[in-house]
C-alpha cells in the first residue's frame, strides 16, 4: 500500500458553485474553497457590496489561507461587476428556477464543468406558530427547500453526464432537534436532510456523492437574534460551551468536498459543538 498523501485534497483547479456566498457561513465556505485553489462561482441575494468584499478578500488570500495564482478573467458577463480570476458572483434569488438554470449555464460556459455544488442559501423568519405570518412560512420553505431543488436540478445533469461530482447541503441542527419559534426553519432544514439522503440514493449510480453539514449555533449575523434571545440558555445546551465559528462549518464542507470523503454519501455531518437534545 502506498503512503497516504494528505496534503492534496484533490480540489485545486476544480469548480465549485456556492449559493448564498456573500455573508456568514456561505462567505467562509467561498473563502475556504478559493483558498485551496478552486474556482468558485457564488450567488448572493442582494448585497453586492458584501459580495465584492468576499471576492476582494479571496483575491488578497485573507482569512482562510493563501490562494494560487489567478488564471485570467473569469467574468460571467460585462454587466457583472464582481469579476476576478478564480472567483465570481451574481445576484440571484434561488427561488427563481429559470434564473438558477441560466446562472449554471453561464458558469459552465466559463469553466466547462461544475465539480461541487454547495446549497447554502437560506433565510430565517423565526416566530412561534401562532405568530407566524403566511409569508414567514412561504419565504422560508421556498428559499431553503425549493431553492435547493432549483439549483440542484440545474447542476445535476452536468454531474450525471460527467459521472462525478459532489453536492453538499447546508442544513441545521434544528432539522433534527427541537427549538422554540423555529417550526418553519426546522421544517425546511429537516426537509433538506431528507432531500440529502434520497438524492444520495438517486445519484450514487453516477458516482456523485450527496451529503449535508448541519451547523449548530454559529456566530453569524443570521443567528444573532437567536443567540441574543436565548442568551446563556443556548450556551448551556452546547457541550463545548461556545458558539461555532463560520470557518468551522466551512472546514466540514471542505472535508466532504475533498477526495478524503469520496466514500461518504447520504450523511449529515453535525458541526454543533455537541448540541444537546432538550
Partner 1 sequence: MNEINNIKINNDEIQSVFPRVAETIADAIGCEVEKVKLNASLIDNLGAESIDFVDIIFRLQRLFKVKIPRGKIVEEARGSLSETEFEKAGVVSDAGVSRLRDYLSEVPPDRFKSPLNVADIPRLFTVETFCKLVIRQQRATPTADVSTPA
Query: What is the set of active-site residues?
Result: 185
Please identify, using beta-carbon distances, which residue of 42 and 158 lies nearer to partner 1.
Answer: 158
Q: How far is the CB of 99 from partner 1 (least distance, A)?
A: 15
Q: How far is the CB of 197 from partner 1 (least distance, A)?
A: 17
Q: Report CA 180 to chain centroid distance, whole Å.
A: 24
- Tell whether residue 70 is a contact of partner 1 (CB under 8 A): no
Per the CB < 8 A criterion, the answer to whether 171 and 193 are in contact is yes
In the set 70, 157, 178, 274, which binds partner 1 (CB under 8 A)? 157
Question: Mapping DSSP to helix (H, G, I), strand (E, B) and coil, where does residue 222 land?
Answer: coil
Q: Kindly report the CA angle at 165 between 205 and 13, in degrees rounded to 5?
A: 150
Per DSSP bridges, beta strands 87-91 and 83-84 are antiparallel
CB neighbourhood size of 18 (10 A): 31
Beta bridge partners of 83: 88
Q: Per-residue contact track with partner 1, 198 to 237, x per CB under 8 A?
A: ----xx-xx-------------------------------
In the set 47, 128, 161, 198, which binds partner 1 (CB under 8 A)? 161
Q: How far is the CB of 161 from partner 1 (least distance, A)?
A: 5
In the set 44, 88, 103, 158, which binds partner 1 (CB under 8 A)? 158
Q: Report CA 36 to chain centroid distance, whole Å.
A: 16
Per the CB < 8 A criterion, the answer to whether 18 and 29 are in contact is yes
The footprint of partner 1 (CB under 8 A) covers: 156-158, 160-161, 202-203, 205-206
Amino acid at each position: 500500500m502506498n503512503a497516504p498523501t494528505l496534503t492534496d485534497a484533490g480540489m485545486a483547479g476544480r469548480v465549485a458553485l456556492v449559493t448564498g456566498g456573500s455573508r456568514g457561513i456561505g462567505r467562509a465556505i467561498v473563502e475556504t474553497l478559493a483558498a485551496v485553489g478552486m474556482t468558485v462561482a457564488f450567488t448572493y441575494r442582494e448585497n453586492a457590496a458584501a459580495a465584492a468584499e468576499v471576492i476582494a478578500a479571496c483575491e488578497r488570500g485573507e482569512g482562510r489561507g493563501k490562494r494560487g495564482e489567478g488564471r485570467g478573467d473569469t467574468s460571467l458577463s460585462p454587466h457583472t461587476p464582481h469579476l476576478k480570476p478564480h472567483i465570481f458572483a451574481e445576484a440571484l434569488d434561488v427561488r427563481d428556477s429559470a434564473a438558477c438554470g441560466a446562472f449554471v449555464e453561464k458558469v459552465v460556459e466559463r469553466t466547462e464543468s461544475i465539480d461541487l455544488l454547495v446549497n447554502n442559501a437560506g433565510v430565517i423568519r423565526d416566530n412561534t406558530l401562532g405568530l407566524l405570518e403566511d409569508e414567514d412560512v412561504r419565504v422560508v420553505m421556498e428559499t431553503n427547500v425549493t431553492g435547493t431543488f432549483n439549483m440542484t436540478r440545474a447542476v445535476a445533469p452536468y454531474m450525471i453526464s460527467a459521472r462525478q461530482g459532489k453536492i453538499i447541503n447546508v442544513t441545521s441542527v434544528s432539522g433534527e432537534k427541537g427549538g422554540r419559534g423555529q417550526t418553519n426553519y426546522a421544517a425546511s432544514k429537516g426537509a433538506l436532510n431528507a432531500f440529502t439522503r434520497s438524492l444520495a440514493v438517486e445519484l450514487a449510480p453516477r458516482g456523485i456523492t450527496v451529503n449535508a453539514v448541519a451547523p449548530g449555533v454559529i456566530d453569524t449575523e443570521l443567528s444573532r437574534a437567536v443567540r441574543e434571545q436565548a442568551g446563556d440558555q443556548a450556551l448551556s445546551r452546547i457541550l463545548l460551551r461556545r458558539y461555532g465559528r463560520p470557518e468551522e462549518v466551512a472546514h466540514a464542507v471542505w472535508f466532504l468536498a475533498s477526495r478524503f470523503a469520496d466514500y461518504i454519501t447520504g450523511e449529515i455531518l453535525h458541526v454543533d459543538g455537541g448540541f444537546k437534545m432538550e
